[in-house]
């Protein structure tokens, strides 16, 4: 695909805003306690989110899905199990293996956290028009879908001098 200079310039602006967005989200996450009120490490909520949205999974699949080490997923999932948010179930395809699945309490805690996130996002967007909020959701969804189906090929392309993420 041949890309025009104008397309590359717009992509550069988007890249800048995406890096800025990720930094701001990371800052917001760091301002929230490293552990939630229930004593669970905040990073472990990604496991709970995945299990709720994608269903019960093996630790190895979670590690792949979350781009994390199996040891990290094992530690975090053990904490979720200890707190009653996740349970281990026999894998119906292989009785020697187990699947991790959210419990009713896991669903409740997930919804509590989701509501808090939604209140914060509503505050962020409170002075936006309804049309702008709808447009943001539509475009963000399209962007995410495009990212999901298009792998970056940065290793195949020469880097420009002074280029940064």
The reply to whether 130 falls in a domain is yes
What pTM did the predictor assign? Answer: 0.74
Q: What residues pair up with 57 in beta bridges, in sequence order? A: 100
Task: Give tens-digit pLDDT for 79-122.
Answer: 999 999 999 999 888 878 899 999 999 999 899 889 988 999 99
The reply to whether 156 falls in a domain is no
The reply to whether 67 falls in a domain is yes
Domain residues for 39? 33-141
The reply to whether 81 falls in a domain is yes
Number of domains making up the chain = 1
Residue 113's CATH number: 1.10.10.10
The reply to whether 12 falls in a domain is no
Name which residue leads in pLDDT, 93 or 10.
Answer: 10
Distance from CA of residue 101 to its chain's centroid? 18
CA atoms of 69 and 74, how far apart (whole Å)? 9
The reply to whether 151 falls in a domain is no
The reply to whether 112 falls in a domain is yes
Residue 120 exposure: Cα atoms within 13 Å on the Cβ side: 11
Cβ(120)–Cβ(114) below 8 Å = no
* Mean pLDDT of all residues belonging to the chain: 87
- At 3, is the secondary structure helix, strand, or coil? coil
Task: Give tens-digit pLDDT for 65-77.
Answer: 998 999 999 999 9
Structure tokens given for 157? 């392309």
């Amino acid at each position: 695909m041949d890309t025009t200079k104008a397309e590359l310039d717009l992509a550069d602006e988007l890249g800048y805003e995406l890096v800025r967005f990720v930094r701001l989200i990371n800052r917001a996450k760091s301002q929230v306690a490293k552990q939630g009120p229930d004593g669970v490490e905040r990073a472990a909520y990604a496991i709970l989110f995945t299990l709720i949205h994608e269903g019960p999974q093996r630790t190895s699949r979670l590690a792949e899905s979350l781009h994390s080490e199996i040891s990290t997923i094992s530690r975090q999932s053990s904490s979720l199990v200890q707190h009653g948010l996740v349970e281990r179930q026999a894998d119906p395809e292989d009785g020697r293996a187990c699947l991790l699945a959210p419990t009713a309490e896991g669903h409740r805690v997930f919804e509590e956290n989701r509501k808090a996130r939604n209140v914060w996002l509503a505050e962020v967007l409170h002075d936006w028009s309804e049309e702008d909020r709808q447009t943001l959701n539509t475009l963000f969804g399209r962007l995410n879908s495009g990212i999901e189906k298009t792998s970056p090929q940065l290793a195949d392309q020469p880097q420009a001098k002074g280029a940064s993420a």
